[in-house]
Structure 1
Amino acid sequence: MLELLKKMDRFLLTRGMDEPYSPYVWLIYLPMFFVPVFFYYHSVWQSVAIASISLVFLTLYFHFYWVSIEAKLWHLVGIVVLGVIAVNLTPTASTLFIYAAVMCHCLKSIKLAYQVLTGIIVTIVLISLLFDYSVNFYLPALIFSVLTGISSIYQQALNEKKRELILSQKEAQRLAKVAERERIARDLHDLIGHTFSVITLKADLAGRLLDKDLAKAKLEIKQIEAISRDALSQVREVVSGYRSSDLLSELANAKNVFASLSIEFDYQLTDLSETELEIDMPTNKELAIVLRELVTNIIKHAKATKVSVEVKKQDQGLVLLVQDDGQGMPEMQSASLGFGLKGIHERISKLQGWVKLDAKSKDLGTLSEIYVPLTQ
């Protein structure tokens, strides 16, 4: 039964909605439209007409979530037309106008949403005046259309402002990362440039002293060793905490590396947004390290001409698929895995995930499949 409901949900609504259950919740008001007819009116044709209008409305209602933002306007017009037709059948036809008013917030712009809402209100007033409909129709239609329409549009405007704020915050974070990279680049340039200049001078001096004063030459060589060790320590301090990467950055890095080697590369996120990928950063970073190791293996061993990567949702976790068209890797086919591949297994095992490495025969490539559950 649960599986059937899931299939119906996938058929009725598109994936990736911010509030996936709200379209169903809003349908609790639909009985206000058709139930009174069956209780208070006994005309067969009237009942059939109301049932038909209800079915057409539900078709427009659910299809509304699938169509482009430009086509949504025509679905709203269709619902308003249904309301105009239904007015001759039941006073509760105002329900359809209220639905149309609420759905205005999904239109292309806030300005257009208010214009369409105004058009709905004008339509209610005109048909009430032209056909002298009772207060039971126009009063609920006007009051609730105005209230729900304005509140939903206002909420949409707040959501858009919130998204803009989040985007600006992300942009500020990116700029901060760029500034940090530039700082590290400057520090490394100053450190390495100075250190290598000193090492070059001392190496040259040690070379000239070898035939003249062996003791001083040995002293210079020891100083070169000390300078090298000190430089290594300073480099580690400069880049400390900087090497941790995320999966999107690692994908971009892989693209640049493969491009420099004339290897065709593409990647895609399936049913997954960048925001969702950033929710669980520990898992994200572990997958980035795993991807880096797989890319290294492909470069070293695979002799591939094409590589593809896919990241997708599966159950309550993420799956990383890496496919190349190179030669099968012998260490994958043997009982003993290489050091890097053992490291991948150990990392993923700690996350309660699994690894599948399918090393095919020569020239058929390798498929690596890694699954990790999301912790948040």
Structure 2
Amino acid sequence: MFDTLKKIDSWLLPRNLNEQFSPYVWLIYLPLFFVPVVVFYEDPMDLVWTFSASIAFLSLYFHAYWAKRQDIIYHIGAILVIATLAAFVTATACTLFIYAGAFCSRLNPLKYAVTVLIGLLLWIITISWLFEFEAYFYMPALTFSLIVGILNIYQCALYENKQALILSREETQRLAKVAERERIARDLHDLIGHTFSVITLKADLAGRLLDKGQDKDLAKARIEIKQLEDISRDALSQVREVVSGYRSSDLLSELANAKNVFSSLDIDFHYQFENIDEQQIELESTNNKELAIVLRELVTNVIKHAKATQVTVTIKHSNGKITLAMQDNGQGFENSQHQGFGIKGIEERIQKLQGWVSVKSGGDYSGTLSEISLPLIKSNATKASSI
């Protein structure tokens, strides 16, 4: 049965809709069109015309979701024709005009959609005046077509703006990655380009000295080879320092990264500082890096397990310690799952630095509260400036 319904659904609607079941939900208003006719009909032909109009409307309704934007205007026009003809049978044909107004939101650009909606309202006024339709036809048709049409156009405009912002952010991130690659390439070139040139020259010189085979030349060759070894070791050390610098992270950077990641997942994220200035988090580098790694792990846990919609991080300074607290409103977890979320690794890492970890979930806590505390150690540069 489920497979049959799934096949029918795939036949009626495309798979790329933002809300796959919304088109079915909006059809709950369609019975307002034909049910009154079924209950109060006087002529059997009214039933025939009403059900024929309903079938024709449903065909256009589902086909509109497959159509291109520039073709939606034809579907709106066809629905208007069906609604106008149905208005001679029943005043509840106003329902079909409302559907036509709703489809105006799929027109592009925005001015065109509003223009077509206004044209639809003028059409209702015109036929109501020409054929002297009653107020209980044209008043609901005008009122709800206008309200539904404007709301749908507004929602579609918001969605398109959101998609444009997402695309712009992705392009910015790609450009940032390209810029970072270029920076790394420049740094490595500046670092090892000259070094390898010197190594090449000295290796060539050592080779020529060895070819001569004289004792004094062999002694000079040994000196050159020893210098080659020193230069290569120094270059290796510099490369390691540079690569380590690229790999290192800090707390502020991880907070910014968490905000970006949560934003892409539509999770509301806020962070705040208490008794410590954002621009003056003077942690000893090891502790700063450890808190950044812990924050990254906590963010990963929220994304994978919490199913949260809101996350708050507080960094506060108290009694010579810095405490990072993350609170989410997710589903939480049982104590038996505690070790499965990487918490044990965090505890081991923090305990080595004389800190402590507290994770509370369930009971009085909505979601999960994770707290990590470390001694606040000022850097040597800060200590020197304070003397």
Give the TM-score band, short-chain normalised: 0.5 to 0.7
Q: Which residue of 1 aligns with 2:14?
A: 14
SS at match of 1:183: helix
Q: Which residue of 1 aligns with 2:311?
A: none
Q: Which residue of 2 aligns with 1:224?
A: 228
Structure 1 residue 235, shift from structure 2 partner:
4.0
Over 3 Å counting, the alpha-carbon distance change for 1:19 and 1:241 in structure 2 is farther
List per-residue Cα deviations over 1:193-228 (Å, max 9, x = no partner).
111111022213323443324354334324323433
| Conserved 8 A contact 1:184-1:239 | no
**In structure 1, how many angstroms separate the alpha carbons of the residues matched to 2:196 and 2:29?**
76
Structure 1 residue 239, shift from structure 2 partner:
5.5
- Paired residues in the alignment total 245
List per-residue Cα deviations over 1:220-271 (Å, max 9, x = no partner).
324323433443454455556989xxxxxxxxxxxxxxxxxxxxxxxxxxxx
Q: Which residue of 1 aligns with 2:202?
A: 202
Which stretch of the first structure deviates more once superposed, 57-66 or 229-238?
229-238
Structure 1 residue 43, shift from structure 2 partner:
1.9
Q: How does 1:353-364 map to 2 (within 5 A)?
A: none
| Conserved 8 A contact 1:184-1:238 | no
Structure 1 alignment gaps of length 5 or more? 244-277, 280-376
Q: Which residue of 2 aligns with 1:184?
A: 184
**In structure 1, how many angstroms separate the alpha carbons of the residues matched to 2:197 and 2:98?**
77
List per-residue Cα deviations over 1:154-196 (Å, max 9, x = no partner).
1111112112211221221122112111111211221231111
- Aligned-partner residue type, residue 149 of structure 1: G
Q: Which residue of 2 aligns with 1:157?
A: 157
Q: Which residue of 2 aligns with 1:130?
A: 130
1:193 aligns with 2:197: no
1:144 aligns with 2:144: yes
Percent identity, please. Answer: 60
TM-score w.r.t. length of structure 1: 0.61
**In structure 1, how many angstroms separate the alpha carbons of the residues matched to 2:4 and 2:50?**
28
Q: How does 1:316-355 map to 2 (within 5 A)?
A: none
Structure 2 alignment gaps of length 5 or more? 248-263, 266-387
Q: Which residue of 1 aligns with 2:334?
A: none
Over 3 Å counting, the alpha-carbon distance change for 1:189 and 1:107 in structure 2 is same
**In structure 2, how many angstroms separate the alpha carbons of the residues matched to 1:80 and 1:235?**
72
SS at match of 1:156: helix
TM-score w.r.t. length of structure 2: 0.59
Q: How does 1:1-376 map to 2 (within 5 A)?
A: 1-210=1-210, 211=213, 212-235=216-239, 238=242
| Conserved 8 A contact 1:57-1:79 | yes
Q: Which residue of 2 aligns with 1:361?
A: none
- Aligned-partner residue type, residue 4 of structure 1: T
Over 3 Å counting, the alpha-carbon distance change for 1:176 and 1:139 in structure 2 is same
**In structure 2, how many angstroms separate the alpha carbons of the residues matched to 1:72 and 1:240?**
57
| Conserved 8 A contact 1:125-1:138 | yes
SS at match of 1:70: helix
Which stretch of the first structure deviates more once superposed, 39-48 or 228-237?
228-237
Over alpha carbons, which structure has the higher Rg? 2
Across the aligned residues of Structure 1 and Structure 2, the Cα RMSD in angstroms comes to: 2.2
Structure 1 residue 33, shift from structure 2 partner:
0.6
SS at match of 2:207: helix
Over 3 Å counting, the alpha-carbon distance change for 1:142 and 1:238 in structure 2 is same
